[in-house]
């Protein structure tokens, strides 16, 4: 009996369902479409990028800031034909040695543009009222890379011995890690030839406190007794200077220097009453303009 009732109810339920959909005006397919949610992706909203805001206000750059980064003097665009100039005395100092005090100087500078410049160099020493040695170089320099220049010109010695003029040519620039380097060859009036190698490096302890190690070595092709120069490696000078930049153009310093002669040059120095090697303490100022 129960099975008969169930079978009779099923057709009625189906008819009732179809009757309701017909009354609502919805076909079977349309009803399914209404019941199923749409799977079409909604368009993504357009997000305008926000301008980044600095974490803290940054002051505009000044000429003093630029000079602190670029030590080459006046700043200018590459290819600029304007004339600019720069000169620095890296060493203007008093050295105290066992034999007495010595006033030393070493400076260089240039005038010109980006690619071609006239370079001037000078160095020397004075013992008491006597000029021990002094020289001036005038060199034309041409930039071959952003960091290196070829140079050629003349060097004139006022002391020691009689005045003499040399032809000079070489290369100068910045090696790895901003190591300032100069390699210059000289040919003298009487057939002498020599090679000078110089280098220095600025090690920043703070923004104003700077430690500068330096090296100079001179090699000679033949003996020159009048000038105290022997063939081969003649002499070397190692220095260590600690300076404090009161401002970027003026910096007092303290340091030490160790000078040594070799071979025939050392024998000539000893014969004149000097020493093969000598350690000295020094004080001076570094200035540029």
Could you give the domains of the chain?
Answer: 2-35 (no CATH), 69-288 (2.40.160.40)
pLDDT of 158 strictly over 50: yes
Question: pLDDT at position 150, please?
Answer: 98
**What length is written for the chain?**
289
pLDDT in tens, 101-151: 899 999 999 999 999 999 999 999 998 888 989 999 999 999 999 999 999
Q: Are strands 209-220 and 203-204 parallel, antiparallel or unpaired?
A: antiparallel
pLDDT of residue 142: 98
Cα atoms in the 13 Å half-sphere on the side-chain side of 181 = 14
> pLDDT confidence of 71, banded at 50, 70, 90?
low
Cβ burial of 272 (10 Å; 0-12, 13-18, 19+) is exposed
Q: What is the dihedral of CA 72, 76, 79, 80, to 10 degrees?
A: -120
Higher pLDDT, 110 or 78: 110
Give the Cα-Cα-Cα angle 117, 120, 125 (nearest 5 degrees).
165
pLDDT of residue 161: 80
CA gap 237, 286 in Å, rounded: 19
Mean pLDDT over residues 34-43, rounded?
51
Cα distances from 215 to residues 52, 102, 210, 281, in angstroms, run 48, 19, 17, 16
pLDDT digits (tens, 9 = 90+) for 20-35: 444 444 444 444 444 4
Separation of alpha carbons 90 and 166, rounded Å:
24
How far apart are the C-alpha atoms of 73 and 108, rounded to whole Å?
Answer: 12
Predicted model pTM:
0.71
Q: Which of 26-40, 178-192, 213-227, 262-276 comes out lowest in average pLDDT?
A: 26-40
Residue 187 to residue 169: CA distance in whole angstroms: 9
């Amino acid at each position: 009996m129960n099975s008969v009732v169930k079978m009779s109810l099923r057709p009625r339920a189906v008819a009732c369902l179809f009757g309701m959909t017909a009354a609502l005006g919805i076909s079977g397919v349309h009803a399914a479409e209404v019941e199923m949610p749409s799977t079409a992706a909604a368009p993504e909203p357009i997000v305008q990028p926000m301008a980044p805001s600095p974490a803290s206000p940054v002051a505009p750059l000044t000429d003093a800031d630029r000079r602190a980064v670029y030590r080459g003097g006046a700043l200018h665009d590459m290819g600029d034909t304007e004339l600019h100039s720069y000169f620095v005395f890296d060493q203007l100092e008093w050295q105290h040695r066992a034999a007495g005090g010595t006033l030393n100087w070493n400076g260089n500078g240039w005038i010109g543009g980006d690619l071609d410049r006239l370079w001037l160099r000078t160095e020397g020493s004075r013992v008491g009222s006597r000029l021990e040695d002094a020289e001036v170089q005038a060199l034309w320099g041409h930039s071959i890379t952003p960091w290196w220049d070829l140079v050629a010109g003349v060097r004139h010695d006022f002391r020691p011995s009689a005045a003499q003029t040399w032809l000079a040519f070489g290369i100068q620039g910045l090696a790895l890690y901003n190591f300032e380097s100069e390699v210059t060859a000289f040919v003298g009036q009487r057939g002498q030839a020599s090679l000078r190698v110089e280098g220095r490096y600025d090690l920043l302890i703070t923004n104003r406190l700077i430690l500068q190690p330096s090296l100079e070595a001179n090699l000679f092709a033949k003996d020159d007794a009048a000038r105290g120069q022997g063939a081969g490696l003649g002499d070397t000078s190692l220095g260590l200077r600690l300076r404090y930049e009161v401002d970027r153009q003026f910096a007092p310093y303290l340091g030490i220097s160790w000078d040594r002669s070799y071979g025939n040059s050392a024998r000539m120095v000893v014969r004149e009453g000097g020493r093969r090697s000598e350690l000295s303490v020094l004080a001076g100022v570094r200035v540029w303009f």
